[in-house]
């Protein structure tokens, strides 16, 4: 049911970060490739070290304490929300964690009972990575509908300085009107705190395994040419 839900990314993880199952939607977050190529990979192979370590620590917490987590973060410049839930072990098997990911965030009044909201301290800003921390703050406040004067009051600078930052943001993102900038900020779900989280790199592209090539000097031996070294 989860796998077939449009736009919902689904994976089942081992506690150590090994990928046991994925649907096609989540493969894009794992660097592309096919479902089969991701089975058996570890998050440490997929993501930058800081990102993988943070996620694996959360997997362990869910598995050991049976916590249910609603994890919010920015990936490729978009705000995502992941639910982590423990799958109880059966017949002495390993505990696993069900991870579902969607774009956007759930209104807090609609979050199922028992889930804890966790905001992590790393992000992959994607196209927004060209912005300075101050520009990210300005963009976040533009996304919240603040005027130049309101932004200036919040950040402790002049409206002219805010306008200068906004012009710089527009040039870097090739978006020159306030509405377009606001839409970008809203897609990322930018908050002031996000300007100061650590930006990490993208997922590692899925390696493609080329067909095994035999050395030119190696002679192929057919099964009917093999004789036992001694008679039975």
- Average model confidence (pLDDT) across the chain: 86
| CATH numeric code, 9-124 | 3.30.450.20
Give residue 204's pLDDT. Answer: 82
pLDDT digits (tens, 9 = 90+) for 92-105: 788 999 999 999 88
CA nearest 102: which of 75, 63, 135, 124? Answer: 75
pLDDT digits (tens, 9 = 90+) for 67-78: 999 999 999 999
**Calculated CA dihedral for residues 58, 63, 66, 67, nearest 10 degrees:** 10
In the chain, DSSP finds a helix count (H) and a strand count (E) of: 8, 8
Give the list of residues 6+ apart from residue 157 with CB closer than 8 angstroms, or none: none
CA geometry: angle 168, 171, 174, nearest 5 deg: 140
pLDDT digits (tens, 9 = 90+) for 175-225: 989 999 999 999 999 999 999 999 998 888 776 654 344 444 443 434 444
Beta strands per DSSP E along 15-160: 19-22, 68-75, 78-87, 96-103, 115-119, 122-123
Report which of residues 110 and 131 the model is more confident about: 131
pTM (predicted TM-score): 0.79
Give residue 169's pLDDT. Answer: 97
Intrachain domains 9-124 and 126-196 with the same fold = no
- 126-196, which class in CATH? mainly alpha
Q: Is the pLDDT at 172 greater than 80, yes or no?
A: yes
Q: Where are the domains of the chain?
A: 9-124, 126-196
**114's tokens:** 């028992």
């Amino acid at each position: 049911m989860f796998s077939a839900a449009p736009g919902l990314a689904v994976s089942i993880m081992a506690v150590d970060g090994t990928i046991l199952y994925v649907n096609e939607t989540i493969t894009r977050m794992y660097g592309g490739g096919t479902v089969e190529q991701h089975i058996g990979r570890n998050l440490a192979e997929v993501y930058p070290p800081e990102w993988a370590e943070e996620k694996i620590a959360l997997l362990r917490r869910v598995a050991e304490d049976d916590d249910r987590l609603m994890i919010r973060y920015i990936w490729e410049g978009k705000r995502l929300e992941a639910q982590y839930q423990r799958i109880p072990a059966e017949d002495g098997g390993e505990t696993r964690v069900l991870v579902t990911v969607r774009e956007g965030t759930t209104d807090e009044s609609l979050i199922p009972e028992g889930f804890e909201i966790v905001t992590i301290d790393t992000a992959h800003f994607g196209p927004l990575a060209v912005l300075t921390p101050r520009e990210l703050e300005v963009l976040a406040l533009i996304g919240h509908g603040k005027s130049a004067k309101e932004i200036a009051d919040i950040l402790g600078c002049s409206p002219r300085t805010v306008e200068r930052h906004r012009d710089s943001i527009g040039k870097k993102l090739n978006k020159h009107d306030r509405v377009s900038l606001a839409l970008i900020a809203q897609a990322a779900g930018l908050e002031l705190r996000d300007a100061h989280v650590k930006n990490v790199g993208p997922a590692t592209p899925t390696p493609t395994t080329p067909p095994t090539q035999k050395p030119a000097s190696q002679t192929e031996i057919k099964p009917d040419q093999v004789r036992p070294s001694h008679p039975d």
